[in-house]
Amino acid sequence: MMKKVFGRPRSMKKNIFHYCAGCGHSIAHRLIAEVIDELDIRGITIGIPPAGCAVLAYNYFDVDMIEAQHGRGPATATGIKRVLPDRIVFSYQGDGDLAAIGIAESFHAANRGENITVVFINNAVYGMTGGQMAPTSMLGQKTTTSPVGRDIVLDGYPIQVSEIFSLLPGTAYIERCTVNSPASILKTRKAIRKAFQYQIDGLGFSLVEILSPCPTNWKMTPIESCRWIDEVMSKSFPLGVLKDLPAAEQKQKRGEQTP
Amino acid sequence: MMVKTIFSGFGGQGVLMMGYALAHGAMSAGYHVTFLPAYGAEVRGGTANCTVAVSDDEIASPIASKPDNIVVLNAPSLLTFQNRLAPGGALFLNSSIIAVEPSRHDVRIFKIPSSELAEKLGNPRTANTVMMGAFLKITGLVPPDIFLSSMETVMGSKKKSVIEINHKAFAAGYEFLKIAE
Amino acid sequence: MNKVLMQGNKIIGEAAIRAGCRFYAGYPITPQNEIPEYMSERLRQEEGGVFIQSESEVAAIHMVIGASAAGARAMTSSSSPGISLKQEGISSMAACELPAVIINMMRGGPGLGNISAAQGDYFQATKGGGHGDYRIIVLGPDSAQELADLTMEAFDLADRYRTPVMILADGMMGQMMEPVIFKTPKPRDYPESFIMKGAGAGKSKIIRGLILDPLDMEEHNWTLDRKYQVIAQNETRHELYKADDAELILVAYGTGARIAKGAIKRLRDLGLRAGLFRPITLWPFPTNELRDLAKKIENFLVFEMSTGKMVEDVRLAIQGRARIGFHGRPGGVVPTPVELANVVMRKYDRKEGIIDHY
Ligand SMILES: Cc1ncc(C[n+]2csc(CCOP(=O)(O)OP(=O)(O)O)c2C)c(N)n1
Ligand code: SF4
Ligand SMILES: [Mg+2]
C-alpha cells in the first residue's frame, strides 16, 4: 500500500495563492496550517489576517477568520480571547501592520500578556501598497519612499520588534526565524508549533517573527532574495530564540543559570 | 471623434510606456487625452494594462467598456480583452508570443510578430515600439514624427543609441503592415 | 505656459510644492501612494523641505498640526480608511484654527472596502468627520487641471481662514493622467503673529482647543461659526454646464460630474435638453445657487458614486421646489456615460417629470 507523505493540510483551503513567485507568505501560511493540523486545533482556532499582502489569508486558511483594520489585529484578538478563553487565537501581521500603525496595539497586547499567538512577517517593506519603506527596512535600503536609501537621521533605525517585546514581562515565547532554505523552514515550523503549544498551555503571549522574502518589491529574483536575507537582513535581525520564559523558569527551578 | 485603446501584456513588456507615449503624442497633437493604468491588486500576478482615450472634445470617462482598439502583447491579455472590443474595432496582437487565435470575427485583426522584429533589430525590449509603429500606421491617431518625439520625452533618455533603436523599431512595425497589405 | 501630461496624484504633489508646501507627512495607502512617493523625492530637493513617512495616519495629521503651528505650509494625504484615522487631528486643527491641506483620494468602503474610485466619504468630509462643532472647507475637483488649481487654492484658503481644507477626489482621479498647466501661485500671505516659534523676549503664546468654561467654549463655537458663515458667503463655488436651456439638471461632483457631462452630450443628441450643476465646494455647498436654479427648472437628477449622500444637501437646497431623482453606483463602480444617459431616459418623462421623485 502506498503511504501519502505530502499533501494539502486539512486547515488549508483548496485555493491557489495570489502571492508572487518566491514570496514568503505562502510558506508561512502552509507551516501554520500544518501546525494547526498537528495540534488538532482546527475546530477551535480563530485567525486574524492583517491589511497587507496577506489580507486575503481567509481564502487559504480553513479556520474561522475575522478581518481586522490595519494594525489592529492584536486588539481584535484580545477581544476574542477574553470572551472565548479556550479558543486558540492567532494574529498574522506584516511589519507595517505590526511595527508601524499597529505598534501600540501589538505592544500592549504583549505587555498584558494576552494568551495569543502573533505570526509576524518581516519583509522589510510595505508589500501590498507597492514597496514603501517599512519600520524594518534596512539602513540604506532604497524604497519608493526612501528614494536615496533609508537614512538614520530622517527615518530612524530598523525596529527590532522581537528584542523589544522580549523585555516585556508579559511575553512567554519569542523567536526570530526565516524561510529561505529547507532547514530554516523546518526550524520555523518548530517555532510556530511551540508558539501555539504555549498558548494551548495558557502560558501567555507568543510571537514568531519570520524574515520573509519579497522578490517583487526588493526587485530581486527569488534566489537573490533568499541570499539577501542571509547576507543583509539577518545581520540586523539575528535569528534565534529571544525569549522562552517557561523554559527559563524550569531551568531556574532546577537551579540552573539563565542567560 | 473619440477613440479609446486598451494596451495589455506582461509587466516589463513596456505596456504602460506604449500608452503613456501615445497619450503624450496625442496631447502634443492638440487632442484631449486621458491615460488610466490598472493599479493595485489588479496588477498582482504580473499583468499590466492601461487605457488611453483620445478625443477632440472633453473626455467624460477615461474607462473603456467598449474600446475601439486593443493592443495585446501576450495571450492572457488577448483572452481578457478581446470580448470587450467594439464591433469593427481593431485588434493588434503580438504574433511572436500569442499562439491562440482570436475568437472575434467581427473585428479587424492585425498580427504583428513584434518580438521577432525587435529581436532582428538587436533589441527585444523594443517589441512595444514595433507594435506602436503598426498601431499608428493603421489608426493614424497621431502623426509618426509627433509620436516619436513624444516617446523620446517620456522615456527621458537622451542617449542617441536608445533613440535610434526605437526609431528603427517603430519603422519596422510601420513598414511591416505596408508589406502585408 | 507649458502643458504637461501627469498623473493626478503627482499633480497634487507638484501643485503643493509650487504653492510653497514644505512639510508633508503621510502613510502609504492605495490609491494615493504616488503622493507620498512624489513628495519624498521632491521635498528632498527643496530647501527646508520635510518629508516624513509617519507610523500611521493618526501620527501624520498630528505631525501636520505641529508643522502648521510652526508656520510651515503643510499637507497630508490618504484614502478613505486613513482619513477616518485623521479625524481626531482634523477636529483639533479646527478647534485651534490651524491651516493645513488634507487630500482624500476616496476608495470603496466602508471598512477595508476596495481600492476603486468611490464617493462614499461625502458625509464624513462635509458634515464633520471628527467630533465637535466645526466645519472644514471641502473642494471637489473633476479634472487634472482642477487638481492642480484647487490644491494651490486650498493652501490659500487654509491660510486665509486658518482652517483645514480638504480636497475630496477619488482613486481614478489619482491614477489618471491628463494634461495640466501649472499656474503661478499667489505669494503666501500669513501673518507672523499666528506662528509659534518661541516667545523670545515677548509675550508667550498658547494654541489650544481645551476651553473648560462652557460660556467661553460657547463663545469660541460662535466665533468659529461666524468664520464659517463668512466662508459660506465668499467661497462657494460651482459650475453650470449646458444649463441655460435645460429642461432637466443633473447634479454631480468630481468623477461623477465627468460621467454626467458625457451623459448630457448623449442625451442632447437624443433631443433631451439636459444640463449639469456641479458643486466645486462641497462645503460650503452652493445651496442658494441651486435653489435659484430650481426657480426655473423643475426636474433634477442627482448622480453619485455612493448610495446617496450629497442628494440630501440637494434636497435641503431645493426645499421641495422641484422634483428630485437619484442614481447611485457605490462600491467602486464607475458607470459609463451611456448607462447614466439611459437611467435619465428611464427616470424622466417630459409630461410627468422625474418619475421616482423622493
Ligand atoms: C488605515 C489604513 N492605512 C493604510 C492602509 C493601506 N495598507 C494596506 S496594507 C499596508 C501595509 C502593508 O505592509 P506590511 O504590513 O508590511 O505587509 P506586507 O504587505 O509587506 O506583507 C498598508 C499601508 C490601510 N489598509 N488602512
Ligand atoms: S509583493 Fe512581496 S510580500 Fe506581497 S505577495 Fe509579492 S512577494 Fe509577497
Ligand atoms: Mg511588510
pLDDT digits (tens, 9 = 90+) for A155-208: 999 999 999 999 999 999 999 999 999 999 999 999 999 999 999 999 999 999
Give the pLDDT score at A247.
Answer: 87
How confident is the model over C221-242, as pLDDT tens digits?
Answer: 999 999 999 999 999 999 999 9
Give the pLDDT score at B145.
Answer: 96
Nearest CA to ligand 1 atom 1: C82
What is the arithmetic mean of pLDDT over B167-171? 96
Distance from CA of A56 to the nearest CA of C (A): 12
Show residues of chain B in contact with C260, CB under 8 Å: 60
How confident is the model over B28-64, as pLDDT tens digits?
Answer: 999 999 999 998 765 555 789 999 999 999 999 999 9
Q: Is the pLDDT of residue A228 over 90?
A: yes
Angle of helix A182-200 relative to helix A24-38, nearest 10 degrees, comes to 50
Ligand 1 pocket by C-beta < 6 Å: which residues?
Answer: A 50-54, 70, 94-97, 121, 123, 125-129, 134; C 27-29, 57, 81-82, 85, 112
Mean pLDDT of chain C: 97
- C286 closest CA partner among C251, C242, C334, C257: C251
Distance from CA of A101 to the nearest CA of C (A): 5
Nearest-by-Cβ selection for C176 from B27, B36, B65: B36
**C-alpha cell at position B120:** 532582428
C99 CA to centre of ligand 2 in angstroms: 38
C22 CA to centre of ligand 3 in angstroms: 28
Report d(CA A99, CA A96) in Å as an integer. 6
Please name each of the domains of chain B with its CATH number. 2-180 (3.40.920.10)
What is the arithmetic mean of pLDDT over A20-39? 97
Report d(CA C52, CA A135) in Å as an integer. 12
CATH 3.40.50.970 fits C3-234, yes or no: yes
User: Facing residues of C96 across strands?
Assistant: none
Cell 461632483, residue?
C253
How confident is the model over C89-147, as pLDDT tens digits?
Answer: 999 999 999 999 999 999 999 999 999 999 999 999 999 899 999 999 999 999 999 99
Report d(CA C104, CA C334) in Å as an integer. 18
Nearest CA to ligand 2 atom 6: A20
What is the arithmetic mean of pLDDT over C248-272? 98
Given an 8 Å threshold on Cβ–Cβ distance, is A145 in contact with C81? Answer: no
Give the pLDDT score at A3.
Answer: 84
User: Facing residues of A119 across strands?
Assistant: A92, A208
Q: Establish whether the linkage from the previous residue to A74 is cis, with ω within 30° of 0.
A: no
Q: Is the pLDDT of residue A86 over 90?
A: yes
Domain definitions of chain C by residue range: 3-234, 238-354
Give the pLDDT score at B44.
Answer: 57
Give the pLDDT score at B43.
Answer: 54
Q: Beta strand pairing status for A240-244 and C323-328?
A: unpaired
Nearest CA to ligand 2 atom 8: A23
Show residues of chain C in contact with B43, CB under 8 Å: none
Give the pLDDT score at A258.
Answer: 54
Q: Report the atom number in ligand 1 closest to the C-alpha of A100.
A: 15
CATH number of the domain at C238-354, please? 3.40.50.920
Report d(CA B115, CA B97) in Å as an integer. 7
A72 CA to centre of ligand 3 in angstroms: 15
- Residue A117 near residue A125, CB atoms below 8 Å: no
ipTM above 0.90, yes or no: yes
Cell 494574529, residue?
A91
Give the pLDDT score at C70.
Answer: 97
Nearest CA to ligand 2 atom 7: A214
Q: Report the atom number in ligand 1 closest to the C-alpha of A51.
A: 9
Cβ under 8 Å to A: B residues 30-59:
41, 44-46
Q: Is the pLDDT of residue B25 over 90?
A: yes
Report d(CA C228, CA C226) in Å as an integer. 5
Report d(CA B129, CA B135) in Å as an integer. 10
Query: What's the number of CA atoms in the CB half-sphere (13 Å) around residue C263?
Result: 29
What is the arithmetic mean of pLDDT over C22-38? 98
Show residues of chain C in contact with B27, CB under 8 Å: 3, 5, 179
Give the pLDDT score at B12.
Answer: 85
Burial of C16 (0-12, 13-18, 19+ CB in 10 A): buried
A94 CA to centre of ligand 3 in angstroms: 5
Q: Is the pLDDT of residue B157 over 80?
A: no
- Residue B73 C-alpha from the chain's centroid: 9
Q: Is the pLDDT of residue C356 over 90?
A: no
Same fold across C3-234 and C238-354? yes
Give the pLDDT score at B45.
Answer: 57
What is the arithmetic mean of pLDDT over C184-201? 95
Give the pLDDT score at B58.
Answer: 95
Give the pLDDT score at B158.
Answer: 76
What pLDDT band is residue A76 in, cutting at 50, 70 and 90?
very high
3-state secondary structure at position C322: coil
3-state secondary structure at position A175: strand
Q: Is the pLDDT of residue C26 over 70?
A: yes
Nearest-by-Cβ selection for C41 from A128, A147, A155: A147
Report d(CA B17, CA B33) in Å as an integer. 15
Given an 8 Å threshold on Cβ–Cβ distance, is C55 in contact with A100? Answer: yes
Contacting chains of A (3 CB pairs or more, <8 Å) are B, C
Which residues hold their Cβ within 5 A of ligand 3, which is an ion?
A 94-95, 123, 127
User: Facing residues of C238 across strands?
Assistant: C279
Give the pLDDT score at A79.
Answer: 96
3-state secondary structure at position A156: coil
Please name each of the domains of chain A with its CATH number. 25-257 (3.40.50.970)
- A34 closest CA partner among A63, A58, A55, A56: A63
| Residue A253, H or E segment | helix A245-253
Q: Report the atom number in ligand 1 closest to the C-alpha of C81.
A: 1
Distance from CA of A72 to the nearest CA of B (A): 22
Put simply, whether B41 touches C (Cβ < 8 Å) is yes
Ligand 2 pocket by C-beta < 6 Å: which residues?
Answer: A 19-20, 23, 25, 53, 123, 127, 214-217
- Residue B139 near residue B69, CB atoms below 8 Å: yes
Listing DSSP states for C228-295 in one string gives HHHHHHHH--EEEES-TT-SEEEE--HHHHHHHHHHHHHHHHTT--EEEEEESEEES--HHHHHHHHH
- For residue B40, the chain A residue with the least C-alpha distance is A129
Given an 8 Å threshold on Cβ–Cβ distance, is B34 in contact with C177? Answer: yes
DSSP E strand boundaries for C54-150: 74-78, 100-106, 137-139
How confident is the model over C47-84, as pLDDT tens digits?
Answer: 999 999 999 999 999 999 999 999 999 999 999 999 99
- Residue A171 C-alpha from the chain's centroid: 15
Q: Report the atom number in ligand 2 closest to the C-alpha of A213.
A: 7
Mean pLDDT of chain B: 93
What pLDDT band is residue A250 in, cutting at 50, 70 and 90?
confident
Distance from CA of C246 to the nearest CA of A (A): 45
Give the pLDDT score at A198.
Answer: 97
Distance from CA of C128 to the nearest CA of B (A): 29
Ligand positioned closest to the Cα atom of B44:
2
Q: Report the atom number in ligand 2 closest to the C-alpha of A24.
A: 8
Show residues of chain C in contact with B40, CB under 8 Å: 30-31, 115
Q: Is the pLDDT of residue A252 over 90?
A: no
A82 CA to centre of ligand 2 in angstroms: 33
Listing DSSP states for A51-76 in one string gives SSGGGGGGGTB-SEE----TT-HHHH
Give the pLDDT score at A51.
Answer: 96
